[in-house]
Amino acid sequence: MQDKDNTTHFGFKEIPTDQKVDAVAQVFHSVAAKYDIMNDLMSGGIHRLWKRHTISQSGVRAGQKVLDIAGGTGDLTAKFSRLVGQSGQVILADINDSMLKVGRDKLANMGVVGNVQCVQANAEELPFPDNTFDCITIAFGLRNVTDKSKALASMQRVLKPGGRLLVLEFSKPETECLSTIYDQYSFRLLPFMGKIIANDSESYRYLAESIRMHPDQETLKGMMEEVGFERVTYQNMTGGIVALHKGFKF
């Protein structure tokens, strides 16, 4: 969210808007190599269940075309590749070349080839024609985008009529008690784990702060509706720590 002085938030800091892409890029360049390990440790492996549920809500079937934005190390892409089959296509898109390289290597090691293409792309200006994809996902990436409304509008543009967008993202816990516990975990344990495992506490401090700055469930629902998505709903998971938003283009 950016203000009239042309600044935006980077975690809890305010920085010039035109510097955010580079600032976020440095975070993910730093964490790319340990990203999968840290995801498992930080969530206790539960992120795999969140992603599995997202896949189950996608409605993706053989022959379709899927865009996995901020797809990072390719968890969703690998599963979509199997669902669409050789007659379909999955595009793994990420703005960060370090993350994209890790994802490309991981998919190759898994034998996921043929129907997957990797593209370095900014979610705010997706380099695809109108009405291209049957399904678009963005998992744990929207909070790092500078102009979220612009990115959502770009997604709506490249989605086919009848297609759906799935936004999996950290959100606002449903109770104050859970919120307090989560804050202690996020601001104390995450940076410590980042220092021990990835030798980078500051990047994980930013990631914790970026979660707190992300729009809550109802606000994000409204943002999706404002750019043209219809039948927008969301489902809280793990007490609202994570939410899955779903919207359709008609």
7 known ligand binder = no
Collapsed DSSP state (helix, strand, coil) of residue 216: coil
Q: Cα–Cα distance between 75 and 246 in angstroms, integer?
A: 19
Strands 89-94 and 133-139: unpaired
94 known ligand binder = yes
Per-residue b/e over 192-209, b at no fewer than 16 CB within 10 Å? eebeeebebeebbbbbbb
Q: Which two tokens stand for residue 132?
A: 């291209």
Q: Cα–Cα distance between 2 and 148 in angstroms, integer?
A: 10
Collapsed DSSP state (helix, strand, coil) of residue 170: strand
73 known ligand binder = yes
What Cα–Cα distance (Å) separates residue 95 from each residue in 22, 101, 138, 141, 250? 10, 11, 12, 10, 28
On whether the CB atoms of residues 121 and 88 are closer than 8 A, the answer is: no
105 known ligand binder = no
Strands 89-94 and 7-10: unpaired
| Residues annotated in a binding site for S-adenosyl-L-methionine | 73, 94, 122-123
| Residues annotated in a binding site | 73, 94, 122-123
